[in-house]
Amino acid sequence: MTTAAGERARPVESLAACTSALVSAYDVVMLDLDGVVYVGEGAVPHAPEILRALRDDARLAYITNNASRTPAAVAARLVGIGIDADASDVVTSAQAVSRLVAERVPHRATVLLIGGEGLHDALLERGLVVTASAADGPAAVVQGFSPRLDWRQLAEGAYAIGAGIPWFASNADLSVPTPRGLAPGNGAFVAALAAATGARPLVAGKPEPALFDETLLRVGGSRPIVVGDRLDTDIEGANRVGADSLCVLTGVSDIADVAAAPPMLRPTYVGPDLRALTEPQPAVEREEAWQVCGGIRARVTDDRIELAGAPDDARYADATCALRATLAACWAADGDVADLTGAAALVERFVR
């Protein structure tokens, strides 16, 4: 995965199939956190037990665009919700951007930090000297999220960037989820500096390749699958580096988003939640106007999805088949489907 990103990019035209448990086809599982493993302070349903069971089947890597926490702090949070993890299982955008910086500035160079503890520690790990002042002649500006970021830090960054110093950012997420709703993320503060200076940073976090490459360097493996809930970070990022992906519907992107996604934002597989890793992904076949998966049939009729063949008893495998048939029908119609409520309700009914 370390060749140029443009050479690795692989759009998804149709869903792939897997006849055995999905995880068995891969040797490392790259898991997004918020919306996949936890939401707020609690675990996503089924996530702890599934991840505990998978720990012996594949390497599990927890990857995050949030550069504010250290890997040890992230691992402690995972342990707190019942997931076996330690710092070596966690890879952050702070670690990825620190490698980018270290590869481009002299050893022991001074860099201007705009961010928090996670980014500070990652820069020190690379042998870099951290400063908070543009007057110290930094070789680079490195920006990551911190809830304690203030105007003074942004101003120091603007002074350095305005003088032509290279600028790096851990990620460009415009928002971060909080218990009260969405709050400004690192991308919002990056945008503020971009507006002030007219410059643009080199970004490490998803959907850029650096975080995926950093994960393989730290965790190992050669056949990764990326598991995420956001099409524009997790899934697009996987497609940019030519990795397979699983989109779970426990976070940001819902069935309508996936149905309307262009090929570069489409997942290789889809599932209601992390249980999809332990299940097969049955093939979808076309039968006249219908897309058929596991006996469940879907087609687009008058801009809405029509489903047939769904049994009355609720089973997880039926939810997967309904999802796969629905998406195949929508993608065959170029995503131009106005009404997905029936399919969404059916999937909800089957997920327990």
Do residues 100 and 198 share a domain? yes
Domain for residue 9, yes or no?
yes
Do residues 111 and 161 share a domain? yes
Cα distances (Å, whole numbers) of residue 19 to 16, 25, 259, 274, 279: 10, 10, 23, 17, 9
Provide the pLDDT confidence category of residue 142 given band limits of 50, 70 and 90.
very high
Place of tokens 């597989």: 269
Domain for residue 89, yes or no?
no
pLDDT value for 345: 67
Residue 336 annotated in active site: no
Do residues 189 and 214 share a domain? no
Whether residue 25 contacts residue 223, with contact meaning beta carbons closer than 8 Å, is answered with: yes
Give the angle subtended at the CA of 147 by the CAs of 205 and 116, to the nearest 5°.
60
Mean pLDDT on 79-90:
95
Domain for residue 86, yes or no?
no
Quote the tokens at residue 137.
């002649």
pLDDT at 339 over 80: no
pLDDT value for 317: 87
Provide the pLDDT confidence category of residue 334 given band limits of 50, 70 and 90.
confident
Cα–Cα dist 249/235, whole Å: 12
Mean pLDDT on 57-82:
95
Q: What domain range includes position 211?
A: 5-65+207-278
Provide the pLDDT confidence category of residue 5 given band limits of 50, 70 and 90.
low
Do residues 190 and 105 share a domain? yes
pLDDT value for 338: 63
Mean pLDDT on 11-31:
96
Domain for residue 148, yes or no?
yes
pLDDT value for 12: 96
Mean pLDDT on 81-101:
97
pLDDT value for 51: 97
Overall domain count for the chain: 3
Mean pLDDT on 19-31:
96
Q: Which residue among 242, 257, 278 closes a domain?
A: 278
Mean pLDDT on 43-52:
95
Do residues 185 and 116 share a domain? yes
Mean pLDDT on 345-352:
60
Quote the tokens at residue 235.
């899934």
Do residues 170 and 255 share a domain? no
Question: In sequence order, what are the residues at sequence separation of 6 or more whose Cβ sits closer than 8 angstroms to the Cβ of residue 244?
Answer: 16, 26, 224, 225, 226, 238, 268, 269
CA nearest to 29, candidates 47, 5, 3: 47
Domain for residue 78, yes or no?
no
Per-residue HEC secondary structure of the chain comes to CCCCHHHHCCCCCCCCCECCCHHHHCCEEEECCECCCEECCEECCCHHHHHHHHCCCCEEEEEECCCCCCHHHHHHHHHHCCCCCCHHHEEEHHHHHHHHHHCCCCCCCEEEEECCHHHHHHHHHCCCEEECCHHHCCCEEEECCCCCCCHHHHHHHHHHHHCCCCEEECCCCCEEEECCEEEECHHHHHHHHHHHHCCCCEECCCCCCHHHHHHHHHHCCCCEEEEECCHHHHHHHHHHCCCEEEEECCCCCCHHHHHCCCHHHCCCEEECCHHHHHCCECCCEEECCEEEECCEEEEEECCEEEEECCCCCCCHHHHHHHHHHHHHHHHHCCCCCCECHHHHHHHHHHCC
Do residues 257 and 292 share a domain? no
Do residues 227 and 268 share a domain? yes
pLDDT at 94 over 50: yes
Cα–Cα dist 208/5, whole Å: 8
Domain for residue 259, yes or no?
yes
Cα–Cα dist 305/15, whole Å: 18
Provide the pLDDT confidence category of residue 176 given band limits of 50, 70 and 90.
confident
Q: Which of 32, 213, 234, 244 is catalytic?
A: 32
Mean pLDDT on 134-143:
98
Provide the pLDDT confidence category of residue 6 given band limits of 50, 70 and 90.
low
Do residues 42 and 139 share a domain? no
Domain for residue 55, yes or no?
yes
Quote the tokens at residue 129.
């000297």
The percentage of the chain sitting over the pLDDT mark of 70, rounded to a whole number, equals: 93
pLDDT value for 348: 67
Whether residue 135 contacts residue 186, with contact meaning beta carbons closer than 8 Å, is answered with: no
Cα–Cα dist 344/352, whole Å: 14
pLDDT at 335 over 70: no
pLDDT value for 141: 98
Q: Which residue among 278, 307, 325 closes a domain?
A: 278
Provide the pLDDT confidence category of residue 346 given band limits of 50, 70 and 90.
low
CA 202 centroid distance within chain: 18
Q: Which of 34, 173, 234, 273 is catalytic?
A: 34
Weakest-pLDDT range from 157-161, 248-252, 273-277, 307-311: 307-311
Weakest-pLDDT range from 1-15, 70-84, 133-147, 213-227: 1-15
Residue 34 annotated in active site: yes
Do residues 238 and 323 share a domain? no
Weakest-pLDDT range from 71-75, 82-86, 196-200, 252-256: 252-256
pLDDT value for 352: 46
Do residues 320 and 344 share a domain? yes
Domain for residue 81, yes or no?
no
Mean pLDDT on 248-266:
91
Provide the pLDDT confidence category of residue 247 given band limits of 50, 70 and 90.
very high
* CATH number of the domain bearing residue 156: 3.40.50.1000
Do residues 99 and 154 share a domain? yes
Q: Which residue among 225, 249, 278 closes a domain?
A: 278
